């Protein structure tokens, strides 16, 4: 999905999806299966700026950060892993977990203009909160 404020991250996600879909098409005749994982928010230390790769570059007050994260309904890592492995076993091409993130994916697929508009509104809202 569109990610203003995370342009490099968004760019690499789009690239990985395109690469994976192309590899899936090319490798199918050799019985090689390729899936691409598009994770939503998973409850790991990276969410709160912890962990080796989770450093927050924007100073967000801890209470505000917690409130923002909980609105995204993070999934537990164990449930995430089980769901992803089941989808891989089913040979799904695009795996979106948690499943409620599929709504955002569909909005962007069916109406790219609406997806961009919603991303702009969300970005403006974040900018307003962060001052």
The model's pLDDT over 18-66, given as tens digits with 9 standing for 90+, comes to: 999 999 999 999 999 999 999 988 988 777 666 566 565 666 677 877 7
SS3 content of the chain, % helix, strand, coil (to 5): 65, 10, 30
What would the mean pLDDT of 86-105 be, rounded to a whole number? 94
Tens digit of each residue's pLDDT (9 = 90 or more) over 56-83: 566 667 787 778 778 888 899 999 999 9
pTM for this model (two decimals): 0.80
pLDDT in tens, 96-128: 999 988 998 999 899 999 989 998 998 888 778
Nearest CA-CA partner of 74 in 50, 46, 40, 109: 40
Contact 116, 58 (CB under 8 A): no
């Amino acid at each position: 999905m569109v990610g203003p404020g995370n342009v490099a991250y968004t760019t690499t996600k789009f690239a990985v999806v395109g690469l994976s879909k192309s590899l899936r098409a090319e490798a199918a005749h050799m019985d090689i299966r390729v899936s691409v994982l598009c994770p939503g928010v998973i409850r790991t230390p990276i969410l709160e700026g912890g962990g080796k790769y989770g450093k927050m570059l924007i100073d967000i007050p801890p209470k505000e950060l917690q409130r923002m994260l909980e609105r995204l309904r993070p999934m537990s890592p164990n449930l995430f892993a089980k769901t992803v492995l089941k989808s891989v076993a089913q040979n799904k091409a695009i795996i979106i977990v948690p499943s409620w993130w599929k709504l955002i994916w569909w909005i962007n697929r069916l109406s790219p203009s609406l997806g961009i508009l919603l991303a702009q509104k969300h970005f403006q809202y974040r900018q307003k909160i962060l001052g």
